Chains A and B, each alone.
Chain A
Amino acid sequence: MFIVAIETSCDETAAAVVRDGQEVLSNVISSQIEFHKKYGGIVPEVAARKHIEVINPVIKEALERANVGFGDINAVAVTYGPGLVGSLLVGLCAAKAIAWGRKIPLVEVNHLEGHIYANFLNSKSKILSFPFISLLVSGGHTMIILVKGHGEYETLGRTRDDAAGEAFDKVARFLGLGYPGGPVIDKLAKRGNPAAIKFPRPMMDQGYDFSFSGIKTAVVNYVSRLTLHASQVPDLVASFQEAIVETLVEKTIRAAKDRNVQIVTLAGGVSANSSLRSRLQKRGQKEGLEVIIPPFEYCTDNAAMIGCAGYYKFINSSLVISHSSLSLSPVASLRL
């Protein structure tokens, strides 16, 4: 079964073709260099209009790379929230047009659910089994989710202020390290001592919620008290990163133990952080947990994950609320 999937919830315009919910035949993202080379143009950071300009070429490219035509597609999966309404609408309209034109079902997918399902794209040897804990960390989201079955989620914790990826970006900008902040800090931190400065771990012992705004403020306060030399930056960012990573990992491991769950998965763009990956692996091993991390291309915003989530919704059709409905509207603050 072939699904064409479309994702436009934030900055990326993305389309993919996924077979049987597992095999990614194509995964096109408008910011990909190969896509630019073919179609040209500069993509601004944020603009709903940008989605309109590239949505059709992105879908066309996804079909071409998968070597299929519209006639081969069995269903269309599309992100309908959370995200910017203007951006979501572009993807939704394109998806509706395909569904209507080909008389095939339209499957609506929650963007957060898509991130969780990215873990099913990783399983070459075996299919991920329920229940599992998913740590979803990106520029916009930080959540610990207990996934009990297809479409069955319990949000155990989420950020009460800044997302983890946002804290990385803001601290990097504050220190003049450039954008995006995550990779720069990750790289610099490798040369620093993560125990050099003891930044706070807000809410460490309270439940599964996070608060990262305070860590960011602690960095600002620390820097304002001294004249920062370039040589001190690696220790500073390593200590900051340590505070974030330790909080994320310890709460996730605790959630798995408290809920008696054996599998922990990682999702979202921050999963590219090498310290987070290695620490979660190590702590998981120590506790006898299996830790699964999807390939990076499925961690950042992409449409393959939407195709995967859409497949499981489609085959468990009780999960499809408005099966083949063309009246679907975007929902900006959609929850899991």
Chain B
Amino acid sequence: MTNEGILYHLKSTEETFALGKKLGVVLEANDIIALHGDLGAGKTTLTQGIARGLDVKDFVASPTFIIINEYAGRLPLFHIDLYRLNQEVEIENLGITEYFQRGGVCVIEWAEKLGELKPAQMHEISLKILGDNEREICVSSDLTARLTV
């Protein structure tokens, strides 16, 4: 999904969480993150780390059923899952694109379903399963650049 990114080789769930936390710390208002990865790839764990980095106190539970979960933190976190949606018109009717400019951070699972609604600026993160808890995570370089500043 990303043409340019930094690869992280993570050996445990804790390391996946820690990477998320590091990213959460550097996120800014109106950042949109697209998460790509199969079932069990660690999207929930990474998002829980991002939430921690944003100082969200609550646990981050899956938004699959409810589609959007909102959390209060250093910036608001909008955790969105498009898994159950099939058409762009459904995404539009649910007002999901309105969350993009609300001064928070959007983390979107199954963002490929956005199609034409895809925002101009979106940070891509892809997660790949290597072993039981081993993952390869590719984070787009526009985001990782902030880590090294």
Contact = CB atoms under 8 A, between A and B. Distances in A.
Interface in B64-99: 64-70, 84-87, 89-90, 93-95
B70 A332 contact: yes
A131 B29 CA distance: 45
Interface in A149-190: 158-163, 165-166, 170, 173-174
A167 to B, nearest CB: 9
Contact of A86 (B87, B89, B93): B93
A158 B69 CA distance: 15
B40 interface: yes
B61 A162 contact: yes
Given A46-B85, A159-B61, A220-B40, A140 B93 contact: no
Nearest to A161: B44
A333 B70 contact: yes
A140 B87 CA distance: 21
A10 B65 contact: yes
B52 to A, nearest CB: 13
A163 B65 CA distance: 9
Contacts of B141: none
Given A46-B90, A224-B129, A165 B40 contact: no
A264 to B, nearest CB: 23
B62 interface: yes
Interface residues of B, dominant DSSP: loop
A216 B129 contact: no
Contact of B40 (A47, A139, A217, A333): A217
Interface residues of B, number: 28
B132 interface: yes
A49 B87 CA distance: 13
Contacts of B149: none
Nearest to A179: B84
Interface in B84-131: 84-87, 89-90, 93-95, 129
A82 interface: yes
Nearest to A141: B65
B62 A166 contact: yes
Contact of B62 (A48, A49, A83, A161): A161
Contacts of A44: 86-87, 90
A85 interface: yes
Nearest to B39: A174
Contacts of A163: 61-62, 65
Counting chain A CB atoms within 10 Å of each CB, the highest count among B44, B65, B86, B89 belongs to B65
8 contacts: A44-B86, A44-B87, A84-B68, A138-B65, A139-B64, A163-B62, A166-B64, A332-B70
Interface of A: 10, 44-49, 82-86, 138-140, 158-163, 165-166, 170, 173-174, 213, 216-217, 219-221, 224, 332-333
Would you list the 8 A-B pairs with minimal beta carbon distance, nearest first?
A: A140-B65, A220-B40, A217-B40, A139-B65, A160-B59, A162-B62, A221-B132, A161-B44
